Chains A and B, each alone.
Chain A
Amino acid sequence: MEDKNKNRVPLGQKPHIVEKPKDPSAIGGSITVEINEKKVTVPMGTTILEACRENQIHIPTLCYHDDLCFAGVCRLCVVEVEGMPTLAASCSYPITAPIKIKTSTPKVRRARKHVIDLMLSEHYGECYSCIRNNNCELQALAKEYGVTDYTFGHIEKKRYEIDDSSFSIIRDLDKCVLCKRCVRTCIDLQEVGVLEAIGRGHETHIGTFLDKQLADVICINCGQCINRCPTGALHEKEITQDIWSAIDDPTKHVVIQTAPSPRAAIGEEFGLEPGHSMTFKMNTALKRIGFDAVFDTNFTADLTIIEEGTELLLRLYKALVNKDESVKLPQFTSCSPGWVKYLEHFYPEYVGHLSSAKSPQQMFGALLKTYYAKKLKLDPSKIVSCAVMPCSAKKFECNRPEMNDSGYQDVDYGLTTRELAKMIKEAGIHLPEMPDSHFDNPFGDASGAGLIFGVTGGVMEAAIRSVIEFITGDKAEEVFDGMNVMPVRGFEGIKYAEIKIDHVGPVPDLIKHLVPNWDWVKGATLKVAVVHGTANAKKVMDDIKAGGKFSQCHFIEFMACPGGCLGGGGQPIPTNEEIRKKRAEAIYAEDAGLELRKSHENPHIIQTYKEFLTDGPCGHTAHKLLHTHYTVRGKYIA
């Protein structure tokens, strides 16, 4: 996110942005300033805030966020700059001269206190009944600045209706402090453009197009705004009470599937440093809460790889051998419900490119109420299927009308990581102290390929591990060092990789009935791309529309959230680049430590195809339960 401050700056203001020099040691590359009478040297163009942070000087911030461009609207980070008549907002003051800065003078402290007092005067609500109690930046600031009463009064009446129209996101504008982080997230980071400041003066509020409800505008439910909201103004639609009552109902068989990303992050809710994987401790905690069975979403992630990979091979076969021009290539992944909705809205003419394979969550839902119910002789109407996801869009996804292929709602509840942490705490469990336990059968523990779905590039890596083995017959660990497909790893917004297929092997039994041989791919180059964050997706889609480099790809992985699922809208708050990297490390480390790292080698997958999905990948049963269709939505709001 190098140019995060230049994205949408009006043309006239672009020359005012100070670019940091490539080499700070060159003449004029860095500058020495005085911060609190201490001399420090920083690269030219560093902001005062960055300079202070590097020198362990704490400056409170509210509208500033590591992932977003400057706003300079909250005025909390003001400092005194010698010679300036007014206080300067340190977050948006680039250092270009040898200035003298003071960060804690009486004037500065009084100004900051006033800013907090003014925010509190308009901030309706009580901390006890707030979802963000104890994890609220405004609350923390009030404590830091010793607020003991309301200097400028306190609003007594609700001014706005709570908008709970969306399946995923609730907006409570009474708690909004107008920092515009959500606006910058929605417009700059995600390019969805749902939220903006509406009105002027004291009537300003964060609103949608024509002040419609969230369900009526083009929101993709990614929840990135929730992750960046400093207060409780934006939060997910809580469903923990429904799950508690299902657990407490003895006639119900309550099962839960857990996605890879929550495990890498949930420790943060219990005071651990980011980057601790809690997979097996979480299993024990879930059992103690009272879930009847705990399953690994990675199992259906493995299944997704088989289905989506087979679909890709079939598409390529049809396009290259049968010369069928109606085949849509590149194929897009469909695991991220935020991305799927983004495409349905903004590029509806491309829905045919989406893999028809459902996301792992929905595949699991469909299997639980059919295969699992049959196997354990359960009444599917009594199964309550829950899913722990790092995602707020999953709540929308499980409520899609087309996701009822088992005859019932396939997944009843999508829980976010934060909600699950709350349930675990409510049950009186301290997660880090739990003993380990494994996932329940018949699905058991899954492969590392399913696990890395949580990181951007993971779906692609998992697919490559299997597809390469399918086609060449070589072992993936021999082709890629340590089975790590490095070209698709990393946090660049858009990644591109080419894989040359110079020899082919026999067609594996699983898909023998679909493809007679591999001679047609011999010598071909598989072109793939990995994209995360819908702003990057927009760039790639525009390139495809214009017939550019990405239109020549065969398979593209898209994830709506920056960093992939581990940076999802349901993950613990705060989230920034450093935290996302640590979560990714945790996931990759867990994958590297596993015996089983390829989807098609998962014995439970092989068994499922033998017992239940007997007509193989992309066969009739698979199509009925594991594949779906998409809705052309368009971006016009009536």
Chain B
Amino acid sequence: MARTTAARSARGPAGIASGPVPAPAGGRSNRSGPPPVVVLICVLIAAFALLPLGYVAVMTVGAGWETISTLVFRPRVAELLMNTVALVVITVPLCVVLGVGGAWLVERTSLRGHKAWSLLLAAPLAIPAFVNSYAWVSAIPSLSGIFGGVLISTLSYFPLVYIPVAATLSRMDPALEQSGSSLGLGSWRVFARVVLPQLRLAIAGGALLVALHLLAEYGAFAMIRFDTFTTAIYEQYQSTFNGAAANMLASVLVVFCLLLLLAESRTRGNARYARIGSGAQASPARLTLGLHAIPAQLALAALTALAFGVPLYHVGRWLIAGGATIWARPELVSSLLQTLGYGLAGALVTTALAFPLAYLAVRHPGWLSKTLEAVNYISSSMPGIVVALAFVTITVHGLPAIYQTSTVLVAAYVLLFMPRSLVNLRAGLAQAPRELDEAARALGKAPFTAFLRVTLRLSAPAAAGGAALVFLGIVNELTATLLLSPNGTATLATEFWKLSSEIDYAGAAPYALLMILLSAPMTYLLFSQSKKAAGQ
């Protein structure tokens, strides 16, 4: 019994939530200390993950107060701060409203075609934000500033809230809501006082992800002339490589990220929302929409048209305008192959390295595993530009042997996308009880064979899910790839960026299409995984 609850509690909204999921309780798993080799590997990974943070700290301290005060306390930084804060403060609530509203309509009302809508609302995740920006700039060439930034990022990122909220809503025990209505609450007040509090974790997790994406995004904002810290750091990089001004902006950005993480962990609270007790949970009732069905359908249609229709339409339009010649660039095939190569390599290495961390967290929970995990979450929240800046500087001065090699780029990918793999693997390992492993050994299998044939096999689907998400991240990664890739490397993202910067929008269209096509199955996987985690 203890085991099933433990397993269930570790099955959070898998994949998308990056916040730590409570580790399974139960004395039996703690019966021996964690294996030293695993601990050593985990500590090494954590130390590696701390490199960017350490770099920023060392650079900031090393710069001295005078440099800090001239480079940080200046009008330009205030301007960037205003832009970045306004972007986060406006976009995050918008994403929450759209995500929660959409999830509620799809999961809790008699909306016609709710199955199709539930997939369509997740679909914009398959469109990289900078492709979305490219489409909107094609539609409205003068789009710029905070309005453009909010428009594009809301449309690109609201599914990050929608997916976990929809998963939670569909799993929620309706008994509490029924109690609420039987005590005289109207349906709005049931939603506000019973449902919404239970969604807190999903909303906070989704909102944090949106905010971190906003801080890290470069391409989408650069294309519409909206300056944030990340775009300004990149510009400084173009003017001075890793000059002091870039480092100072990076340290402000890092402080910003840490504040967000802190805020999110504050809102999480300690309340328990899990259903306990015997009996099966009823499936939630659906509210009859009646006349409201028409505006609801229209609203969802409008949202989908803006978030999914506009990018597809404009990519298609440029593809037609460009004709056959845009497919003739020799770089197209090579950049596709390189993207696949880096995506696969990054996904494999990340999953392999996430294994010991997840193993430690599930089989030997304790302060050590929690600390190591927290380190990975924090460091992975650092924007790609900061990670890249750190890696460039460290390798150019300290590690010339691997400087500008694919190793460094893959290492950056590992660092940036580790949580995607970790969250999934932990859930998968939690479902592979160690007793099965032991039983296999008792039946005469060698330990390693037993591990391969039992634990590894049982956690393989989860590992594959995590790897797919890492792959998705790598396909759409731009800033770290631009800074760190070996000489002569071009990926779909960097080629798309280069062509669209030269306003060769037609030439860029095939790259946009390929990125969407590569992302689509991963997005579907993410979507169906969240449904499965919710028990459907």
Whether chains A and B associate is no
* Residues of A near any B CB (own CB < 8 A): none
* Residues of B near any A CB (own CB < 8 A): none
